A and B are shown apart, each in its own frame.
Chain A
Amino acid sequence: MAPKRSGPSTPTSSSANLKSLSSSSSNSPSTSAGSSLSGSAASNTDATVILNHVWNRYVQNTPQRTKLLDAFLGFLVAVGVVQFAYCVLAGNYPFNAFLSGFSATVGQFVLTTSLRMQTNKENEKEFSSVSDERAFADYVFGSLLLHFFCVNFIN
């Protein structure tokens, strides 16, 4: 019930929010694109233009909460990469610490991705039975469980 009613309201609000954001953020890519245009080949310019376009579309059309999710996912990827790189460079002793540290990050990533899938408006048909609040509550429960296990396992 709730998502259907709140559904239509979110895009408008987020797009209203985003307009101010996009106006400020779209300036900097265009300047960088311009500098690359002068220095390199036309194909490169095309790629930059496409990327620019993708970025702008993302910035304009993505709801605020999805962007927040994406930012958190990016943060998790960074943390995971740091941990894995440390394991490769410094060795895997103690292995259980690596397992729990790395799997905390990976598990959190998986849970967050699930939340993103369930709350994305484009997937509304598939998850019609799961409201955003329900999805978030599941997410919080799952995350707490994951943190508990990881802290326990690292000993």
Chain B
Amino acid sequence: MQLPVAFLLLCLLGIVQALSTAGNRLLVVIEELADKDKYSTFWSDLESRGYNLDFESPKSEKLTLFQHGERVYDHVLLLPPKSKGLGPSLTPKILMDFINGDGNILLALASDAPTPTAIVSLLLEFDIHLPSDRNALVVDHFNHDTISASDKHDVVLVPAPKALRPGAKNFFAGQSPDTTLAFPRGMGQVLGNESPLLHPILRAPSSAYSYNPKDQSETVEDPFAVGQQLALVSALQARNSARFTVLGSLEMLENKWFDAKVKAPGASGEKTTTGNRDFAKALSAWTFQEIGVLKVGNVEHHLNEGADQGLVELNPKIYRIKSDVTFSIELSEYNYDHWAPFTPPAKDAVQLEFSMLSPFHRLALTPSSSGTSSNSTLYTTSFTVPDQHGIFKFEVNYKRPFFTYIDETREVTVRHYAHDEWPRSFAISGAWTWIAGIWVTVAGWLAFVALWLWSAPVRSSGPADKAKKTQ
């Protein structure tokens, strides 16, 4: 009896402390613990949001992501090692297992040391390609910081990301629309076309290109990638909604770039402060599932008929064809530290499918004012069940970039009319002629029978016949 209570208390304690929906155990893999202080603002930002940071060197003996087959950490922040590899406890397979076990990974890259093969092959698993020369960095001769990199042009200034496409939510826009991000000495990635799970968060400016500083030649021939092809920060959300983010430049997280003043070449005098701190917050919050997390609450469906009187059964197993049905689903979105009502971005809609093999209905769900509370939105729609019996399902399949996936199905049987559910024939005026037809036939028949019996032929031998019958 005491053990469950203690366990419950422990769970409650965990809920109070964890501000991320996925847990608060964060492992930071950093090779030189002395370098830790360069990112102290970032660490304190993370700690203030409720994370328990655990710093480990990749060479450490006791470093392990799994214990007894369970994850030891909820999130991993991988800083690039200067040495050749990540060691035996962080092989690509273990990192893949970690993602498959719902763990989130934020991987930072840097161009000052060659990228280990383990990381390159891990990224290839996700269809993210790095430049073949391991020291490549992104330069831009038109959008660089003139204060810190007037000579090398390797601190690229990028405007804060726009929405991925119309109808997609932008989590990384920063405070103001003209926020500038400094991307110092970073490594660009090229994303494969095949994976629908892969999205760029930040693209390079159109005049940027990837370049190897060790290459001595004057001009760059056949660069790895140029312009918007280069993703500076990219994200993969696996099918289990675990998140994997690649940050091209580790230096972005350094204290000095959080509040650095930068100036673009053509800018008219004014120095601007970078939006790196907000971007780092949004990026880590998204990766560690503090934002963009959707939750399904109550899912209900019922018949419209008698719903006002409260007479209907909720979520019945069976419906009849052509009956009017209402479906509702409660959706919440996690917003740093609380569940908030979910509203899809403009030009997007949450849709309900009523399908048997293929959808018979695909309807936009509308938020209902009555069912919306302070931490969830109630989406409802009403429709008429199609004139087709079989096993149907209500399905809400909402998969959008940067949101965790929703795929809720409820299976119901749709039956045809029972024998006594058809309208009576006399209720349909069109049937009156045929009703009359039957009864006229019956009346005529009765008259005929009466006449037949009455007009029995006169028998000469009547009494004899009667005597015969009685025998």
Binding site for B on A (CB under 8 A): 1-2, 5-6, 9-10, 13-14, 63-65, 68-69, 72, 75-76, 79-80, 82-83, 86, 90-91, 93-94, 96-98, 100-102, 104-105, 108, 112, 136, 140, 143, 147, 150-151, 154-155
Q: Indicate with 1 or 0, residue by residue over B435-471, a CB within 8 angstroms of chain A CB atoms.
A: 1111011101100110110010111110011001000
A151/B438 in contact, CB under 8 A: yes
A155 in contact with B444 given A5-B465, A94-B431, A97-B431 (CB within 8 Å):
no
Residues of A within 8 A of B424 (CB): 155
* Interface contact tally, CB-CB below 8 A: 104
Q: A64-B455, A76-B444 are in contact. Are A9 and B460 (CB under 8 A)?
A: yes
Query: What is the CA–CA distance of A45 and B460 in the complex, to the nearest angstrom?
Result: 43
How close is A141's CB to chain B, nearest CB, in angstroms?
12
Q: List 23 A-B contacts (CB under 8 A).
A: A1-B468, A2-B465, A6-B465, A9-B457, A13-B458, A65-B452, A76-B444, A79-B441, A79-B444, A82-B433, A83-B437, A98-B431, A101-B438, A104-B441, A105-B441, A143-B445, A147-B438, A147-B441, A147-B442, A150-B438, A151-B438, A154-B435, A155-B422
Q: Are A9 and B459 in contact (CB under 8 A)?
A: yes
What is the bound-complex CA distance between A55 and B422, given in angstroms?
50
A147 CA to B440 CA, complexed, in Å: 11
With beta carbons under 8 angstroms apart, the residue of A65, A75, A97, A150 that contacts B444 is A75
Quick one: closest B residue to A7, CB to CB? B457
B457 touches A13 (CB 8 A): yes
Extra contacts besides A72-B448, A91-B430, A101-B436 (4): CB < 8 Å: A79-B444, A93-B428, A104-B437, A143-B445
Using Cβ atoms and an 8 Å threshold, which residues of chain B touch A151?
A: 438
Q: Say whether B425 faces chain A, with CB atoms less than 8 Å apart.
A: yes
Q: Which residues of B contact A83 (CB under 8 A)?
A: 433-434, 437
Q: For residue B460, which residues in chain A have a CB less than 8 angstroms away from its CB?
A: 9
* CB–CB B430/A68 < 8 A: no
Q: Are A6 and B434 in contact (CB under 8 A)?
A: no
Partner of A93, one of B430, B436, B440, B445: B430
Interface size on B (CB < 8 Å)?
A: 30
Give the contacts of B157-187 with A (CB-CB under 8 A).
none
Give bound CA distance, A106 to B135, whole Å: 95
A86 / chain B contacts, CB cutoff of 8 Å: 433-434
| Contact A9:B444 (CB < 8 A) given known A90-B430, A151-B438, A155-B424 | no
Q: Measured between alpha carbons, how far is A1 from B441 in the docked complex, in Å?
A: 33
> Which residue of chain B is the closest to A89 with respect to CB atoms?
B433
Q: Which of B422, B436, B457, B465 contacts A64 (CB 8 A)?
A: B457
* Other-chain residue from B431, B440, B449, B465 in contact with A140 (beta carbon distance below 8 A): B449
Q: With A and B bound together, what is the CA distance between A69 and B434 in angstroms?
A: 23
A68, A94, A96: the one within 8 Å of B451 (CB) = A68
Nearest CB of B to A102, in Å? 7
Main secondary structure of the interface of B (DSSP, over half): helix
A75 CA to B440 CA, complexed, in Å? 10
The answer to whether A108 touches B434 (Cβ under 8 A) is: no
Report the nearest B residue to A92, measured CB to CB: B430
A-chain residues with CB within 8 Å of residue B441 when the two chains form the complex? 76, 79, 104-105, 108, 147
Q: Can you name the residue of chain B whose Cβ is closest to the Cβ of A99?
A: B434
Known contacts A5-B465, A9-B461; is-contact A101 B444 (Cβ 8 Å): no
Given the complex, which residues of B lie within 8 Å of A76, measured CB to CB? 441, 444
Please report the C-alpha to C-alpha distance between residue A127 and residue B200 in the assembled complex, in whole angstroms: 94
Q: Can you list the 5 inter-chain pairs with the closest CB atoms, starting with the nearest?
A: A101-B434, A97-B431, A101-B437, A97-B434, A10-B457
Q: Which residues of A contact B448 (CB under 8 A)?
A: 68-69, 72, 112
If A79-B437, A147-B438, A147-B442 touch, whether A6 touches B457 (CB-CB below 8 Å) is: yes
Q: Give the nearest-CB partner of B430 in chain A.
A: A93
Rounded to whole Å, the gap between the CB of A66 and the closest CB of chain B is 11
* Structural contact, A154 and B465, CB atoms closer than 8 A: no
A155 to B460, CA, bound (A): 48
Shortest distance from the beta carbon of A124 to any chain B beta carbon, whole Å: 14
Partner of A105, one of B430, B437, B451, B452: B437
Tell me whether A102 and B434 are in contact (CB under 8 A): yes
Contact A2 B468 (CB under 8 A): yes
B356-392: CB near A (< 8 Å → 1, else 0) gives: 0000000000000000000000000000000000000
* Inter-chain contact B434/A98, CB cutoff 8 Å: yes
Q: Which residues of A contact B461 (CB under 8 A)?
A: 5-6, 9
Q: Smallest Cβ distance from B454 to chain A, in angstroms? A: 10
Which B residues are in CB contact (< 8 Å) with A79? 437, 440-441, 444
Q: Determine the chain A residues whose CB is within 8 A of the CB of B422 once the complex forms.
A: 155
Contact with A101, one of B435, B452, B458 (Cβ below 8 angstroms): B435
Instruction: Give the complex CA separation of A1 and B468 in angstroms.
Output: 9
Residues of A within 8 A of B464 (CB): 5
The residue on B at minimum CB distance from A108 is B441
| Chain B residues, Cβ within 8 Å of A104 | 437-438, 441-442
Contact A155 B457 (CB under 8 A): no
Instruction: Please indicate the chain B residues that have their CB under 8 angstroms from the CB of A140 in the complex.
Output: 449
Q: Are A14 and B457 in contact (CB under 8 A)?
A: yes
A154 CB contacts on chain B under 8 angstroms: 425, 431, 434-435, 438
Do A6 and B459 touch across chains, with their CB atoms under 8 A apart? yes
B452 contacts across to A, CB distance below 8 A: 65, 68, 136
List, in ascending order, chain B residues with CB within 8 A of A94's CB.
Answer: 425, 428, 430-431
Pick from B431, B437, B458: contact of A82, CB under 8 Å: B437
Asked whether B444 lies within 8 Å of A100 as measured between CB atoms, the reply is no
A98 to B458 alpha-carbon distance, docked (Å) = 41
Most buried by A among B425, B428, B449: B425
